């Protein structure tokens, strides 16, 4: 068997605390999720192994379900590779699942949708929560108004007004299918959930920031709809802090 034919494709799911990381994508200065995982794989396989993620998360953003794939020659069960991969990663990064994948699987291009959650805290969050939510201090939210405004996001439409420029020349189709938006409250904690076919750069944080503006009474639900349908980003679109955002899940077909 040739070296090429011995390669196997693997699909993995990882979780991470993004507080002290520079995001998902590899950078020259390191300290990204991709850099740490590739460094560990290089030790295991005694050479470079490139991983491909389902998408990029910014510095400070967390994940419960980031998906990535890679190819390597590994004749043993995937469970042994998972154990080897886990033991050499920083405490803030954990590979939770690993399995063999079909030859045509791609973590990004095979994805059919993603779910993000944003966590808000009315009041001053305790230290053990503050790293993972946006603490609103003395401000209070009208979640009924936020729920009314969130309905305008549902459906297939152009989300240009809630995207941002990466500054690297890349572009994404601004038309996304927003399948589900939820605003839920449990005591001081308010959680926003967005599920869509895909997300533009900073889209989830921009949707959150603007819904918070609605919740604070600074703009109305109808004004949010006008912003969305205007398809131009304006000063009314606020970007929520990265630390409250969580990539929850990536969806794939059967």
Does pLDDT of 166 surpass 90?
A: no
Give the pLDDT band of residue 254 (cuts 50, 70, 90): low
- What tokens were used for 76? 């043993």
> pLDDT value at position 2?
45
Sort strands 93-100 and 8-16 into parallel, antiparallel or unpaired: antiparallel
Does pLDDT of 4 surpass 70?
A: no
pLDDT in tens, 22-53: 999 998 888 999 999 999 999 999 999 999 99
Task: Give which of 235, 196, 205 is closest to 118, Cα–Cα.
Answer: 205
All domains of the chain, ordered by start, with CATH? 3-100 (3.30.70.580), 112-252 (3.30.70.660)
Catalytic hit among 58, 129, 158, 177: 58
Mean pLDDT of all residues in 57-70: 97
pLDDT in tens, 86-136: 998 999 999 999 999 999 999 999 999 999 999 999 999 999 999 999 999
pLDDT in tens, 179-200: 999 999 999 999 999 999 999 9
How distant, in Å, are the alpha carbons of 57, 93, 109 from that of 18?
9, 9, 24
Give the pLDDT band of residue 1 (cuts 50, 70, 90): very low
**Chain centroid to CA 64:** 9
Active site annotation includes 58: yes
How distant, in Å, are the alpha carbons of 38, 60, 198 from that of 23?
14, 7, 18
């Amino acid at each position: 068997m040739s070296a090429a034919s011995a390669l196997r494709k693997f699909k993995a799911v990882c979780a991470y605390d993004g507080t002290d990381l520079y995001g998902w994508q590899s950078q020259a200065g390191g300290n990204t999720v991709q850099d740490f995982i590739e460094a560990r794989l290089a030790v295991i396989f005694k050479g470079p192994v490139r991983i491909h993620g389902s998408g990029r998360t910014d510095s400070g953003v967390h994940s419960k379900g980031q998906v990535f794939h890679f190819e390597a020659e590994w004749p043993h069960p995937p469970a042994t590779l998972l154990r080897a991969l886990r033991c050499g990663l920083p405490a803030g990064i954990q590979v939770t699942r690993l399995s063999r994948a079909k030859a045509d699987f791609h973590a990004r291009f095979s994805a059919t949708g993603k779910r993000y959650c944003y966590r808000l805290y009315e009041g001053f969050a305790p230290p053990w929560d503050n790293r993972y939510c946006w603490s609103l201090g003395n401000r209070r939210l009208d979640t009924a108004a936020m729920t009314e405004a969130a309905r305008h996001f549902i459906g297939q439409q152009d989300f240009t007004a809630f995207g941002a420029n990466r500054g690297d020349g890349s572009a994404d189709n601004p038309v996304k299918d927003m399948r589900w938006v939820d605003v839920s409250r449990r005591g001081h904690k308010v959680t926003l959930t967005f599920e869509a076919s895909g997300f533009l750069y900073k889209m989830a944080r921009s949707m959150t920031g603007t819904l918070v503006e609605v919740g604070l009474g600074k703009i109305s639900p109808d004004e949010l709809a006008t912003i969305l349908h205007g398809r131009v980003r304006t000063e009314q679109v606020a970007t929520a802090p990265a630390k409250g955002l969580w990539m929850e899940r990536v969806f794939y077909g059967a």
